[in-house]
Structure 1
Amino acid sequence: MRINVLQHTPSEGPGSIVDWANDRGHQVYIYHPYQFNGVLPTADETDLLVILGGPMSPNDDLDWIKNERQLIKQLLAQHKPIFGACYGAQQIAKTLGYSVLKAPHKEVGWAPVYRQTDFIPGLPQQLTALHWHEEMFEVPKEAQLLFTSDLVHNQGFVLGDNVVGLQFHLEPKSINVRTMVVNDGQYANEQNDLHQNAEAILQAPVPTNNKSAIYTIFDFLAKSK
């Protein structure tokens, strides 16, 4: 499969998603539409779309953000697999006609998330995920709530057998966490309801079962192809 990744800031890369793709024999292409004049893949050259996080909002009035949603809409119509993390999950929800709102709490740092359905076999009941957001999506009515956290209820959804959106991050490896913190760590220090500063986030080890969870989710999505 051709895995097309939309990356929206240099500090938030695909992490263990690339490991999964390599282990399963797939090719990864990474696009940077925020930087390279809105360049995006076409639906026809996309077997699985990954939409990563970023500092922007789906509510921003930018052409490339709207064009991303057109791509998502085309892939949904073709029943192709889509995964969204943070901003990416919000983009999927907005494409489906749901709102992206300010979350009741700003979450930046490590905190548990709790599985709400066993629709994706093999996911653990609880994971310690990296949170880096202050907005959240409305869970689409046609989807199932997949995860919640202690501070923000809407943490993940699964739509059919081909779409998963997560408000948090399971994909970062240690190098990705370091990159996020050294470049954007000040975001953690400003009115953060998880009360973790940049140094605390940096010192926490990346849970080993986060990578396993990414593999479980992507194996599930790949079966729909």
Structure 2
Amino acid sequence: MRINVLQHTPNEGPGSIQDWAHANNHELYVYHPYQFGNLPTADQTDLLVILGGPMSPNDDLAWIKQERQLIQQLLAAHKPLFGACFGAQQIAKTLGAAVTKAPHKEVGWAPVYLKSNAIPRLPSQLTALHWHEEMFEVPTGAELLFSSDLVVNQGFLLNENVIGLQFHFEPTADNVREIAINDDQYPLTHNALHQTSADIIQHGVPSENPAVMAQLLNFIVKH
């Protein structure tokens, strides 16, 4: 399987998604469209992973619109897609859902609660890394997958092959340190979770998160 990853900022990479790809002998290709403008084609893609970033799907940038064209082609072809944060927003916007300011800016570790039993054996509560101040509306035809205490729309599942999460299960400990030290000012203003970069690093990655990330990916690629 060829997994194409769209990365949108240097400090938010594929993390445990890369580990899952290697463990399953998949080929991983990482694109940086914000810098180079290159995107894979739909026929080159068996699974598309769209990662987070500081931009908004509402920004008037050519590469953001081109990403959504690719997403639309993959949706039409019923290929699996996974989006985290900005990536989930991109999928939602492609499906006609709005992306708006969230009622609370969430930066740091906080629980998320399972709202659907469509994916078997997921824990009812997990601790995820949040790094956002916008949110998606759940697209028509999709079901709400996760919520947090501060933002209801934290995850969605569509047609058993598309998952969008407003938060992050994919970072490893090294990734968390990379995110936090390079974007260390972001948690300091209007952050409803009241965590600093040092707090976020000290918390560490919950041991179950890589397994849950793998479970989500296994689910969408097998349907």
Q: TM-score, normalised by structure 2?
A: 0.99
- Are residue 54 (structure 1) and residue 59 (structure 2) matched? no
Partner SS, residue 33 of structure 2: coil
Match of residue 122 from structure 1: 121
Match of residue 64 from structure 1: 63
- Are residue 9 (structure 1) and residue 9 (structure 2) matched? yes
Partner SS, residue 61 of structure 1: coil
Match of residue 149 from structure 2: 150
How far apart in 2 are the matches of 1:199 and 1:191? 17
For the 8 Å contact 2:50–2:84, the answer to whether it is kept is yes
Match of residue 171 from structure 1: 170
How far apart in 1 are the matches of 2:150 and 2:28? 34
Question: Which amino acid in 2 is paired with 1:42?
Answer: T
**More deviation in 98-107 or 118-127?**
118-127
Q: Note the residue ranges of structure 1 that are not aligned, 5 or more in a row.
A: none
Match of residue 21 from structure 1: 21
For the 8 Å contact 2:106–2:193, the answer to whether it is kept is yes
1:13-38 Cα offsets, whole Å, 9 max, x none, are 000001111111101000000011x1
1:79-111 Cα offsets, whole Å, 9 max, x none, are 000000000000000000110000000000000
Shift of residue 66 of structure 1? 0.1
5 Å-filtered alignment, 1:88-99, equals 88-99=87-98
Match of residue 141 from structure 1: 140
1:172-221 Cα offsets, whole Å, 9 max, x none, are 00000000011001101111000111110110010011101001001001
How far apart in 1 are the matches of 2:177 and 2:200? 9
For the 8 Å contact 2:3–2:27, the answer to whether it is kept is yes
How far apart in 1 are the matches of 2:189 and 2:138? 27
Partner SS, residue 58 of structure 1: coil
Number of corresponding residues: 223
Shift of residue 141 of structure 1? 2.1
- Are residue 212 (structure 1) and residue 204 (structure 2) matched? no
Q: Note the residue ranges of structure 2 that are not aligned, 5 or more in a row.
A: none
How far apart in 1 are the matches of 2:62 and 2:187? 29
For the 8 Å contact 2:95–2:140, the answer to whether it is kept is no
**What is the percentage of aligned positions where both structures have the same residue?**
68
Q: What's the RMSD between the two structures over aligned residues?
A: 0.5
Shift of residue 121 of structure 1? 1.1
Question: Which amino acid in 1 is paired with 2:161?
Answer: N
How far apart in 1 are the matches of 2:137 and 2:82? 16
How far apart in 2 are the matches of 1:215 and 1:188? 28
Shift of residue 222 of structure 1? 1.1
Partner SS, residue 43 of structure 2: coil
5 Å-filtered alignment, 1:24-39, equals 24-36=24-36, 38-39=37-38
